Amino acid sequence: MTTHAIETRDLCYRPGPGFEIRDLSIKVRQGAIYGFLGPNGAGKTTTIQLLLGLRRARSGSISILGLDAPRELPRILGSTGYVPERPHLYPYLSVAEAIRYHGAFYPGFDWSYAEQLRKAFDLREGAKLSRVSKGEMGKLMILLVLAQRPDLLVLDEPTDGLDPVVRRDVLSALLDFCSQGAATVFISSHLVHELERICDWVGVLDRGRLAAELPMNAFKNGIKRIRLGRAPSLVGDTPFVVISQERSALEQVWVVRGWQPTMVQWFDGVGAEVKEIVDLDLEDGFVELLRGARAPQEG
Amino acid sequence: MRDAAVFRQVLLAQWRWARLALVVLAVVGFAIPLASVFYGADLAGAGRSRVGDWLVAADRVASVLPYFALLTGVLVGVMAWTPDIAGRHVYALTLPVSRAYFVTLRFVAGALLTLVPAGAFAVGAVIASVSVSLPPGVHAHPADVAARFWLATLTVYAIIFAISSASRRGQIAIISIIGGAVLVDLLLLTLSADFSITAEAFALLTNWPGPLAILTGRWALFDV
């Protein structure tokens, strides 16, 4: 029994000059709601496409639901619901036809749940997909993957461009579904606060590299900005992770993650003076993580 | 059971997408054989010369059939893949079936859809055949011509389907080969050479056992 729904090891992919996914190792434990954060162009969609066999990695390995990708792709896709960044359904079908088409491919497709969701989402059966709104298309795509009753949901910016009402409907349906079983959700977004509500684990991707992978609690509560006087000049083993350091004549400002209140003793031990510890909100934490990840490369 | 359900949905989706073109092709296919008998329906007592003229006129109408089969095959072949091409194949590639299986589903569904214009043509051919009183020695061949029409359509469909379903690299290779052949021909033309690659290739394709040989020759609905 595998403990990880998704596991990549040293994944490398280079679509062309200027961008590459390098040594990407992700671990998404089963049952987690994993937020895959990153700025636009970080490689989130490319990574998802690698996971689902839409692109072939140059090297590295991918295991999904304990199966080797892309070798066992049909079996993987049979247990995986995928909502791509852009609508992929056939626009000439109606809502009812799209549901029937999609459902036929999945033996475990839950027709009654699909109908229940269709009504809850207020989607007209006869509405042509070429004429539905962006919000309705987003709801239909979520409906289709939820009714598959998948073990793994891979959602690529599923609420991007949706209005707040539709966004709430979609996320509520997602949370309802997750509360019914042990499905793993891998959801990519650049909207930090959206993931805060639903995710219990976060991976941050930047420029094709994993900048951090940590529990949401540690992300929310464990990232601090610490103002120090008499800071140590050399940082040895710290009980937390130093993301960035800024020095001025009078003080230093450190951004750290994995912080716990008792760790203030470490500063006492190295003779530093802690002037202030500031809680960073999620967005600030995200920005600091990115800054920290970029610093050595730009260094 | 699941295979049948999946195939039914693929067929229905393909029909949804191509139905307007198929209905137009069916109407035209139905009308062409009827146009063959436009020049007269009662030939039982007609003289030799009038029967001869009538057969020439009917032949002239029948001469459009290979072009119509070509058009039908090309349209159905192209339309089999256009929705997936528009979506960069993302939907098809993320369905839980192997690529070969999905391609087979698409191919068989498209092949069945060619029966719509072919069937309409067959009905038109039968109606045309029974609506004319033929003199002794002249026969109608509605079943033969209809079967040939369907086979010709299927052949063209299969070729276009194969090209459409090829990878982008494969398609570029095919286009490059054709473009290269045309360029070489132009070069040969400037050198006044008595040889043409495209003409040779065309002859190879359209002469038996070339795959397009079925499109050549006479397509007579009525013959002696």
End-to-end CA distance of chain B: 49
> How much is the average pLDDT of B112-121?
98
To the nearest 10°, report the CA torsion of B169, B171, B174, B177: -60
Nearest to A233 by CA among A245, A221, A216: A245
CB contact at 8 A, A140 and A102: no
Task: Please identify which residue in the block is written with the tokens 């051919």.
Answer: B125
Please tell me the distance from the alpha carbon of residue A202 to that of residue A213, in angstroms, as a whole number: 6
Q: Tell me what ipTM this predicted complex has.
A: 0.87
Q: Do A106 and B93 touch (CB under 8 A)?
A: no
pLDDT at A14: 93
Q: Which residue of B has its CA nearest to A92?
A: B17
Cis peptide leading into residue B209 (ω within 30°): yes
Chain A, 105 to 134: residues with Cβ < 8 Å from chain B are 105-107
Average pLDDT for B158-181 = 90
Alpha-carbon gap: A83 to the closest alpha carbon of chain B (Å): 10
Q: A211 CA to chain B: closest CA distance, Å?
A: 28
Three-state DSSP state, A208: coil
pLDDT at A63 over 70: yes
Whole-number Å distance between alpha carbons of B71 and B65: 10
Do residue A90 and residue B94 have CB atoms under 8 angstroms apart? Answer: no
CB contact under 8 A, A84 and B96: no
Bridge partners of A81? Answer: A153
| Nearest CA distance, A207 vs chain B (angstrom) | 24
| Summary mean pLDDT of chain B | 91
Q: By mean pLDDT, which of A30-34, A293-297, B109-113, B135-139 is the weakest?
A: A293-297
Closest to B98 (Cβ–Cβ): which among A74, A97, A105?
A: A74
Average pLDDT over chain A reads 89
Instruction: Tell me the nearest-neighbour CA distance from B96 into chain A, angstroms.
Output: 4
Residues A195-229 pLDDT 10s: 888 899 999 999 899 988 988 888 877 788 899 88
Q: Which of B126, B159, B152, B143 lies closest to B66, judged by CA? A: B152
Q: How far is CA A99 from CA A3, A95, A109, A110, in A?
A: 32, 6, 10, 11
Q: Which residues of A touch B2 (CB under 8 A)?
A: 104, 107
Average pLDDT score over residue span A43-60: 95
Provide, as residue numbers in chain B, all residues whose Cβ is less than 8 Å from the Cβ of A77: 94-96
Chain B residues in contact with A82 (beta carbon < 8 A): 94
> Do B99 and B9 form a contact (C-beta atoms < 8 A)?
no
Do the Cβ atoms of A54 and B93 come within 8 Å?
Answer: yes
Lowest mean pLDDT among A123-137, B141-155, B165-179: B165-179
Whole-number Å distance between alpha carbons of B69 and B118? 9
A29: left (phi over 0), alpha (psi -120 to 50) or beta: beta
Q: Is B66 helix (H, G, I), strand (E, B) or coil?
A: helix
| A149 vs B: CB within 8 A | no
**Measured distance CA(B205)–CA(B202) in Å, rounded:** 5
Task: Give the residue from chain B lying closest to A128, CA to CA.
Answer: B16
Residue A214: strand, helix, or coil: strand
In sequence order, what are the residues at sequence separation of 6 or more whose Cβ sits closer than 8 angstroms to the Cβ of residue B148? B214, B219
Q: How far apart are CA B204 and CA B91, in angstroms?
A: 38
Q: In chain A, what residues touch B12 (CB-CB under 8 Å)?
A: 97, 100-101
Distance from the Cα of B9 to chain A's closest Cα (Å) equals 5
- Tell me if B17 and A90 make a contact (CB, 8 A cut-off): yes
Q: How far apart are CA A168 and CA A179, in angstroms?
A: 16
Residue A61 has pLDDT above 60, yes or no: yes
**Burial (CB count <10 Å: 0-12, 13-18, 19+), residue A80:** buried
Mutation target to probe the A interface, by most A beta carbons within 10 A, among B6, B90, B103 is B90
Chain A: closest CA distance from residue B154 (Å): 25
The token pair that represents B196 in the structure block: 């043409």
Share of residues in chain A with pLDDT > 70 (%): 96
Per residue in B72-86, pLDDT (tens digit) is 999 999 999 999 988
Mean pLDDT lowest for which of A23-37, A284-298, B105-119, B144-158? Answer: A284-298
Enumerate the residues of chain A whose CB falls inside 8 A of the CB of residue B96.
74-75, 77-78, 105-106
Pick from A73, A86, A104: CB nearest B6: A104
pLDDT value of residue A4: 93
Residues sharing a CB contact under 8 Å with residue B72, sequence separation 6 or more, in sequence order:
B25, B29, B114, B117, B118, B153, B156, B157
Q: Which domain holds residue B10?
A: 2-223
pLDDT over 70 at A2, yes or no:
no
Q: Which of A54, A74, A88 sits opposite B96 (nearest CB)?
A: A74
Restricting to A residues 19-58, those with a Cβ less than 8 Å away from any Cβ of B are 52-54
Residue from A51, A56, A65, A73 whose CB has the most chain B CBs within 10 Å, to mutate? A73
Q: Give the helix ranges, DSSP H, for B37-130.
A: 48-62, 65-86, 90-93, 99-113, 115-130
β-bridge pairing A201-206 and A33-37: parallel
DSSP element (H, E) containing B32? helix B2-36
The confidence score (pLDDT) of residue B104 equals: 96
Q: What is the pLDDT of residue A217?
A: 83
Tell me: pLDDT of A126 over 50. Answer: yes
pLDDT for res A296? 58
pLDDT per residue as tens digits for the range A250-296: 788 888 888 888 888 888 888 888 888 988 887 888 888 887 777 65
Q: What is the pLDDT of residue A299?
A: 44
Inter-CA distances, A252 with A6, A49, A258, A275, A276, Å:
39, 42, 19, 10, 11
CB B219 within 8 A of CB B127: no
- Spell out which residues of chain B touch residue A93, defining contact as CB-CB under 8 Å: 13, 16
Nearest to B9 among A74, A86, A100 (CB): A100
Q: Which of residues 81-100 of B touch A (CB under 8 A)?
A: 83, 87, 90-91, 93-98
Q: Average of pLDDT values for B129-154?
A: 91
Q: Which domains does chain A have, with CATH numbers?
A: 4-217 (3.40.50.300), 218-298 (3.30.70)
Question: Is B2's CB within 8 Å of A107's CB?
Answer: yes
Q: How confident is the model at residue B115 (pLDDT cuts 50, 70, 90)?
A: very high
pLDDT of B109 above 90: yes
Count of domains for chain B: 1
CA A118, CA A128: separation in Å to the nearest integer? Answer: 14
CB-CB under 8 Å, A78 with B96: yes
What distance in Å separates the CA atoms of residue B222 and residue B58, rounded to the nearest whole number?
7
Higher pLDDT, B43 or B119: B119
